[in-house]
A = this chain, B = another copy of it.
Amino acid sequence: MPELVPEPLTREAFAPFGDVVDSAGRAGVPANHGTARRYPALAGIEIRGRDARPVIGIFETRPVRLPFRLLVMERHPLGSQAFQPLREHPWLVVVASDPRRPDGYRAFLAEGRQGIVYRPGVWHHFLLSPERPGRFLVVDREGPGGNLEECAVRDLDLLLPPLPG
């Protein structure tokens, strides 16, 4: 069964799919009368269509056991979708340029402080917490119109292997 080995999540590697929300390696600016440091606009949210708006929700995840066979890819043509871990545990991001072609898949191991924003229309697996239960803040779109496409990928037999170490 082909293995999809996760690479480290960096801004450069993830750029074709969206943004990484992470203050590490950035200078930031002083704010709030010296009591804070601000890292503004690390990522933008795009919401398409009339009468639509961004909303904030929470996802609580159960850990998945590795190796994990990918189940289903999804995408949201009308809006960005942001995920930010609220506990600092590593998590897995799987994206694809074309979900029917095994060679178009990429997997990323995100550190616990790293969030991501998928651009509208980017194919992604639902989020995967490999070790411990996770809690994520989610920003996505609320509004009229079909904003979910799914593609079953079980038959591709793509396996996320156990993490090293």
Q: Which residues of A are interface residues toward B (Cβ below 8 A)? A: 19, 21-23, 28, 31-47, 53-62, 64, 71-72, 82, 84-88, 113, 115, 117, 126-128, 135, 137-139, 142
Contact = CB atoms under 8 A, between A and B. Distances in A.
Contacts of A113: 86, 135
10 contacts: A31-B59, A32-B59, A33-B71, A40-B138, A42-B57, A42-B58, A44-B53, A84-B86, A85-B86, A139-B139
Nearest to A125: B32
Given A44-B54, A44-B142, A55-B44, A36 B137 contact: no
Contacts of A71: 33
Contacts of A33: 71-72, 126
Number of copies: 2
Contacts of A38: 57-59, 138
A43 to B, nearest CB: 5
A126 B59 contact: no
Contacts of A21: 56, 58, 137
A42 B137 CA distance: 10
A54 B56 contact: no
Contacts of A138: 38, 40
Contact of A82 (B42, B56, B135): B56
Contacts of A57: 38-42
Nearest to A117: B56
Nearest to A64: B35
A55 B36 contact: no
B86 A45 contact: no
